[in-house]
Amino acid sequence: MKNDLTVNGDTFEIMISEQKIKDRVKELADEINADYAGKVPVFIGILNGSFIFFADLIREITIDCEVDFLKLSSYGDAKISSGNVRLLKDLNCQVTGRDIIIVEDIVDSGLSMQYIRELILRQNPTSFKVVTLLYKPASIKSNIQLDYVGFTIDPEFVIGYGLDYAQRVRNLKAIYRMKS
Ligand code: IMP
Ligand code: MG
């Protein structure tokens, strides 16, 4: 009870602790380090939501790599995905002939990821893989492949560790779920 918090009038409870996130991020990085040994992939973070996951993941990456960012918008301030994806900031890096790893906070409907996939594949990368911290399989509305998944969760609204509720609470260290 004492761990509950109220945001925009809704109550949230802890779902994934700071330590659990940290341990899982390290496991994901270890897998990526092994899979990309000898390569120099480009990690592309999807702003804004992935910024904390991205920063923690990249510091566990021990192979040579580059980073870049894409900024998308689909939610506005709502809790349900509009499915209407807009590109707010394009890449600076060259995609052609590179090993691309997309870093997302959460895949919900998957429509953002489908948009990103089409955008990147048009530029002929050598390879294209996706790492997402969270995945809601019951919400999926597209046919996309996720290569590294941190946690598979129920289709509930979650906040913290980069994930916002109407732009707030991205700074929380743990992930919280909305109480029904
Ligand atoms: P999708 O296109 O429906 O897969 O949604 C992708 C984006 O919506 C994610 O990158 C998040 O920024 C945001 N999103 C999806 N589910 C949640 C949630 O439960 N809390 C906060 N943001 C979310
Ligand atoms: Mg996002």
Which residue among 44, 81, 87, 109 has the greatest number of ligand 1 atoms within 8 angstroms of its CB, and so is best to mutate? Answer: 81
Residues with CB under 5 A from ligand 2 (ion): 49, 105
The token pair at 163 is 């994930």
Residue 35 within a domain: no
Tell me the C-alpha distance between 180 and 176, whole Å. 13
In a domain, 44, yes or no: yes
Q: Angle at Cα 116 formed by Cα 141 and Cα 166, nearest 5°? A: 70
What would the pLDDT profile of 6-41 be if each residue is shown by its tens digit?
999 999 999 999 999 999 999 999 999 999 999 999
Which residues are paired to 130 by β-bridges? 102
CATH number for position 168: 3.40.50.2020
Task: Give the burial string for 156-176 (b: 16+ CB within 10 Å, else e).
Answer: ebbbbbbbbbeeebbebebbb
pLDDT for residue 73: 79
Average pLDDT over residues 119-132: 98
Where do we find the tokens 């999926």?
A: 140
Which residue range forms the structural domain that includes residue 96? Answer: 40-178
Asked if 61 and 31 count as a contact pair (C-beta separation under 8 A), the reply is no
The pTM is what? 0.95
Mutate to test the pocket of ligand 1, among 105, 131, 143 (most ligand atoms within 8 A of CB): 105
Tell whether omega for the bond before 124 is within 30 degrees of 0, i.e. cis: no
| HEC readout, 23-46 | HHHHHHHHHHHHHCCCCCCEEEEE
* Total structural domains within the chain: 1
Average pLDDT over residues 93-97: 94
pLDDT over 90 (residue 1): no
